[in-house]
Amino acid sequence: MSLRLFVSRDAGAVAVGADDVALALEQAAAKRDVAIEIVRTGSRGMYWLEPLVEVATPQGRIAFGPVTEADVPSLLDALASNTPHVLRLGATDEIPWLKRQTRLTFARCGVIDPRSLDDYRAHGGYKGLERALSLGSDAILNEVTASGLRGRGGAGFPTGIKWKTVAQAKADRKFIVCNADEGDSGTFADRMIMEGDPFLVIEGMTIAGITVGATKGYIYTRSEYPHAIEAMNAAILEARRGGYLGSNVGGSSCSFDLEVRVGAGAYVCGEETALLESLEGRRGIVRAKPPLPAHYGLFGKPTAINNILSLAAIPFILAEGAKTYADYGMGRSRGTMPIQLAGNLRHGGLFETAFGVTLGELVDDIGGGTLTGRPVRAVQVGGPLGAYFPRALFDTPFDYEAFAARDGLIGHGGIVVFDDSVDMRKQARFAMEFCAIESCGKCTPCRIGSTRGVETIEKIINGERVHENLALVEDLCSTMKFGSLCALGGFTPYPVLSALKHFREDFIPAPTTLQAAE
């Protein structure tokens, strides 16, 4: 009997040797005359265990990891003879880190072959579209609204209301745009879902198209994600072949087709209006709103532009019903959030869970503390525009409003952990520097403010008139926050001000040196 093995083809797994392990498995199996079949899946999201190798057994999949090329011969011997192996982790589904998650969006990621439409369908794929087709536009809108789904890109705008606006707009053409321009450091959920379950994105966008009356969709993603681009393009071809894109989608009278477009290294294009400009072939310059993209979007047509994680949540909501989704979560944050644990962390990866889990649980308990073994000092939540949180705020629940109340944001759900060797002056300067590099240049507070910010923080680092310059940075942040056109300039103050507020001691020279001088 042939051994059925699963090795991830996710970029994060490949970066730590998954391709080498897969190749070594094939070679070792040929040498031993053991019949194996390797399925290249997405990642389960437990990156400290990558490359992870799973084997199908009558009792379900058994996991081994992290596997290196050198481990392959002994692993294959153990698998062929059904004997123990030191890297054996037990049943994959029973690994506590996976077991305590609520995987609605990422249910199939790491499980199925992302190139196979049949595998997708065999694991519940296209059930959402099937139900959507039987419901019709108004009923779908009711479902999406009732689910409480809010924009997973960070802004948290209710998806149902956005779709309704586009559905009601009158135009000869409408568009669905999937924002997969995942530029935030510490985030990789978009990349994982495109590489691990691309049909889910296609299904979500197709449902969006049917709902608002759009026949064309674009997935705008990053040039830094070559594996994701390849996976999405392969899935689009496969979906077309299977009758799930093109005319008569899923046997209905609706038409919908998709195209992947690739950015060119501009962070600001993750901002929705800059993204639309870029899609139209122009510089990624932010547009003033209104008009909203829902009325005047891509090529001037009504456009539903959603984050990929919002669109990826849609098939579950349609298949299982709005209530099932809304039953998860807290307050006005309903459903689940794919949280990404990154940076200096022992157990980094993708952790999808209902809103409400605290930051402390995520970092200390689930993340397992720092990889270096030193104390956690600062945690940046929500990407380069997110605030730095100290341990004192670790009781903050993961929820849009709770983070806002503490001058932070959950953004795209990325958490970057720093140990006590971090110099928060450098982090504050970097926030301004990044804004200066990436500013589209349209509005003054962002374009000039960020450069002045770098200079002023530089002066603080050099000990020049520290108190006056700190006041200047705070004032500048206020100008940027209230005067910028979009979130790039508007939110850069979050990391800067949070660093100043919670880690003041890094900015002010220690008084002990003064005393010593006396």
Partner 1 sequence: MTAVFEPWNETRGAEIIGEHANQEGATLVILHALQEAFGYVPEAAIPMVAQALNLSRAEVHGVFTFYHDFRHKPAGRHVLKLCRAEACQAAGGDALAAHAEAKLGVLLGNTTPDDRVTLEPIYCLGLCATAPSAMLDGRLIGRLDQKRLDALVAEAQR
Point out which residues bind partner 1 (CB under 8 A): 11-12, 14-16, 47-48, 50, 182-188, 190-191, 222-227, 261-267, 278-284, 299, 340-345, 348-350, 371, 380, 384, 414, 416-419, 422, 427, 430, 434, 437-438, 440
Residue nearer to partner 1 on the CB measure, 119 or 184 = 184
Minimum distance from residue 313 beta carbon to partner 1 (Å): 20
Minimum distance from residue 162 beta carbon to partner 1 (Å): 22
Give the relative orientation of helices 72-81 and 18-32 as an angle to the nearest 10 degrees: 50
Residue nearer to partner 1 on the CB measure, 241 or 282 = 282
Minimum distance from residue 139 beta carbon to partner 1 (Å): 32
Residue nearer to partner 1 on the CB measure, 353 or 469 = 353
CB under 8 A, 24+ apart: contacts of 431-435: 431/384, 431/385, 431/492, 431/495, 431/496, 431/499, 432/457, 432/492, 432/496, 434/267, 434/384, 434/492, 435/384, 435/488, 435/489, 435/492
Which three-class secondary structure state does DSSP give residue 74?
helix
Minimum distance from residue 342 beta carbon to partner 1 (Å): 3
Minimum distance from residue 132 beta carbon to partner 1 (Å): 27
- Decide if 8 contacts 49 (C-beta within 8 A): no
- Decide if 355 contacts 334 (C-beta within 8 A): yes
**Residue-by-residue DSSP string for 159-208:** HHHHHHHHHH---S--EEEEEE---STT--HHHHHHHH-HHHHHHHHHHH
What phi and psi values does residue 351 have, to the nearest 5 degrees?
A: -125, 100
User: What is the C-alpha to C-alpha distance for residues 234 and 197, in angstroms, rounded to an integer?
Assistant: 12
* Strand 36-41 to 3-8 pairing: parallel
Which three-class secondary structure state does DSSP give residue 440?
coil
Minimum distance from residue 501 beta carbon to partner 1 (Å): 18
Residue nearer to partner 1 on the CB measure, 328 or 491 = 491
Residue nearer to partner 1 on the CB measure, 382 or 445 = 382
Instruction: Tell me the two tokens of residue 401.
Output: 């409003």
List, in order, residues 6 or more apart from 480 with CB less than 8 Å away.
Answer: 445, 446, 449, 450, 453, 489, 490, 492, 493
State the first-to-last Cα distance of the chain, in angstroms, to the nearest integer: 82
Minimum distance from residue 327 beta carbon to partner 1 (Å): 29
Residue nearer to partner 1 on the CB measure, 365 or 468 = 365
- Decide if 506 contacts 470 (C-beta within 8 A): no
Minimum distance from residue 106 beta carbon to partner 1 (Å): 14
Minimum distance from residue 502 beta carbon to partner 1 (Å): 16
Which among 513, 499, 512, 515 is positioned nearest to 418, based on CA atoms? Answer: 499
Residue nearer to partner 1 on the CB measure, 182 or 203 = 182
Angle at 429 between CA 425 and CA 430, to 5 degrees: 115
Which among 484, 407, 438, 434 is positioned nearest to 270, based on CA atoms? Answer: 438
Minimum distance from residue 255 beta carbon to partner 1 (Å): 17
* Strand 53-57 to 88-91 pairing: unpaired
User: What is the C-alpha to C-alpha distance for residues 450 and 463, in angstroms, rounded to an integer?
Assistant: 20
Burial class (CB in 10 A: 0-12, 13-18, 19+), 281: exposed
Residue nearer to partner 1 on the CB measure, 48 or 157 = 48
Residue nearer to partner 1 on the CB measure, 263 or 315 = 263
Residue nearer to partner 1 on the CB measure, 157 or 430 = 430
Minimum distance from residue 264 beta carbon to partner 1 (Å): 3
- Decide if 347 contacts 186 (C-beta within 8 A): no
Runs of H (alpha helix) within 253-357: 272-279, 308-320, 322-326
Residue nearer to partner 1 on the CB measure, 43 or 469 = 43
Residue nearer to partner 1 on the CB measure, 48 or 394 = 48
Minimum distance from residue 366 beta carbon to partner 1 (Å): 12
Dihedral of CA atoms 456, 457, 461, 467 in degrees, nearest 10, equals 70
Residue nearer to partner 1 on the CB measure, 404 or 437 = 437
Minimum distance from residue 254 beta carbon to partner 1 (Å): 21
Token match 């490949």: residue?
14
